[in-house]
């Protein structure tokens, strides 16, 4: 195993988990998790934050009913009840801290 420093200042993990059985999930159609993740990825690129901020799809974060959910590492900030419309506010906060 090789250890290396974390290559990004911040990583935003966005739940995009979908369930086929119809149970509530951040990535199910109409919930917005996938769309939020894509909006954040595009915004990071647009704002020149690539290489500083990483947006990554996440599996289930286990608080599905409160989602879509995301968390910011290493800040320890949990974001819940998100919609794709929240992307700009999240990006502004990331840009201030980048």
The mean per-residue pLDDT over the stretch 58-70 comes to: 94
In angstroms, the CA 34 to CA 15 distance is 8
List, for residues 1-17, the tens digit of each pLDDT value: 999 998 999 999 999 99
pLDDT of 97 above 90 = no
Mean per-residue pLDDT, 26-54: 96
Average pLDDT over residues 39-67: 95
In a domain, 24, yes or no: yes
Distance CA 83, CA 86 (A): 6
Range of the domain at 46: 10-97
* Number of separate domains in the chain: 1
Q: Is 5 contained in some domain? A: no
Q: Is residue 3 part of a domain?
A: no
Asked if the structure places residue 1 within a domain, the reply is no
Q: Across residues 47-70, what is the average pLDDT?
A: 95
Answer yes or no: is 23 within a domain.
yes
Q: Which residues pair with 79 in a beta bridge?
A: 70
Whether residue 98 has pLDDT greater than 70: no
Phi, psi of 79 (to 5 degrees): -120, 130
34 belongs to a structural domain: yes
Give every CB contact of residue 90 below 8 A, 6+ residues apart in sequence: 12, 40, 70, 79, 82
- Residue 91 counted as domain residue: yes
pLDDT single digits (tens) 80-92: 999 999 999 999 9
Residue 4 lies inside a defined structural domain of this protein: no
The CATH number linked to 19 is: 3.40.30.10
């Amino acid at each position: 195993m090789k250890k290396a420093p974390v290559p990004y200042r911040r990583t935003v993990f966005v739940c995009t988990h979908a369930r086929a059985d119809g149970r509530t999930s951040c990535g199910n159609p109409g919930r917005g998790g996938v769309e939020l993740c894509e909006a954040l990825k595009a915004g990071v690129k647009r704002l020149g934050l690539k290489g500083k901020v990483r947006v990554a799809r996440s599996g289930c974060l286990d608080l599905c009913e409160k989602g879509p959910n995301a968390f910011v590492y290493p800040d320890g900030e949990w974001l819940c009840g998100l919609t794709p419309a929240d992307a700009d506010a999240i990006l502004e906060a990331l840009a201030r801290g980048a």
